[in-house]
Amino acid sequence: MRKFSFVLVICVIFCAAPAIAHELILKPSGFAAPKGAELAVELQSTHVFIVKEEVEDISAIKAGIFQGGKLVESPLEPNEPDLRIDFSVKIPDGGQSSIIMANKTGEVWSVTPDGSKPGTRKSFEDQGIMVTRASRTDKFAKAIINASQSDKNFASAVGQELEIVPATNPASARTGQYFSVRVLYNGQPAALPVHATYDGFVKEYQNTYAYYTESDADGIANIKITAPGIWIIRASVDNEPGVPGEFDTRSIRSILTIQVK
């Protein structure tokens, strides 16, 4: 299929509730911080970009800063009044890009005659409850801090199962130009759908993005930057085989957050 890209408003509608899981988004309190600073970060779960809608289960999430080739975890604090998870990271070097990351192991949801409910296919069928479909969605998120023209750390892969790695330095991102990323699935370049939008593009509708494209065989996707501000770039893998008796299919989502000046 010929690769294409264009500006659009796209509302994604899926056939079952598990498929419309909230997106997991990292929103730092700033995109620049000096060495040793404690930077506050919000972990948001939403269908509207970027508007907080619910607090995810922190027991399934690991988040923090990528340092020394691994995730250095931060304590997570659910913030129910503000509909987010709060944590902070210590910036290791003010002169190099830092990568904040979050990984969430998905919960299994099953479609029953009474609607979608958490639980495996087997757990319901053992109770004599028919299951139409059982699925799981795993989520990954990243954000780039302290992007600078002389630094290359922004292009580091952190080893997420589905990962978006900037191919363009975020410090060089400008309105009217293309921003390129490489999509990796299990560490290998992957040709997948890629959506992107910026904070404030649309707040009236769910699952609505400013841009759509597809990564090529080398995993490269090119996004036309149409406004300054906070951008999120999303890749997804859907309908992966599940685990017999547990869930039928699995989806994987990944979102990269950058700032465009």
Q: Is the pLDDT of residue 43 over 70?
A: yes
Q: What is the pLDDT of residue 95?
A: 72
Nearest to 94 by CA among 33, 169, 171: 33
Q: What are the pLDDT digits (tens) for 44-67?
A: 999 889 888 899 999 999 999 999
Q: What are the pLDDT digits (tens) for 138-188?
A: 999 999 999 988 888 999 999 999 999 999 999 999 999 999 999 999 999
Is 105 among the domain residues?
A: yes
Is 102 among the domain residues?
A: yes
Give the domain extent around 252: 6-260
Is 1 among the domain residues?
A: no
* Residue 12 DSSP SS3: coil
How many other CB atoms sit within 10 Å of the CB of residue 126? 10
Q: Is the pLDDT of residue 119 over 60?
A: yes
Q: What is the pLDDT of residue 20?
A: 62
Whole-angstrom Cα Rg for the chain: 18
Q: What is the pLDDT of residue 53?
A: 85
**Tokens standing for 231?**
């951008």
Using CA atoms, how far residue 151 sits from 5, 67, 244, in Å, is: 29, 15, 46
Q: What is the pLDDT of residue 16?
A: 37
Is 180 among the domain residues?
A: yes
Average pLDDT, the chain: 90
Record the pTM: 0.89
Question: How many C-alpha atoms does 52 have within 13 Å on its Cβ side?
Answer: 17
Query: What's the whole-number mean pLDDT along residues 75-90?
Result: 96
Is 165 among the domain residues?
A: yes
Q: Is the pLDDT of residue 121 over 70?
A: yes
* Residue 26 DSSP SS3: strand
Measured between alpha carbons, how far is 169 from 121 in angstroms, rounded to an integer? Answer: 44
Q: How many structural domains is the chain composed of?
A: 1
Measured between alpha carbons, how far is 230 from 208 in angstroms, rounded to an integer? Answer: 15
Q: What is the pLDDT of residue 105?
A: 94
Cβ proximity of 145 and 165 under 8 Å: no
Query: pLDDT-derived band of residue 135, with 50, 70 and 90 as boundaries?
Result: very high
Share of the chain above pLDDT 90, in %: 83
Q: What is the pLDDT of residue 5?
A: 40
- If one compares 212 and 148, the residue with the highest pLDDT of the two is 212
**Tokens standing for 205?**
């509708």
Nearest to 103 by CA among 69, 137, 146, 79: 137
How many residues make up the chain in this entry? Answer: 261
Q: What is the pLDDT of residue 240?
A: 93
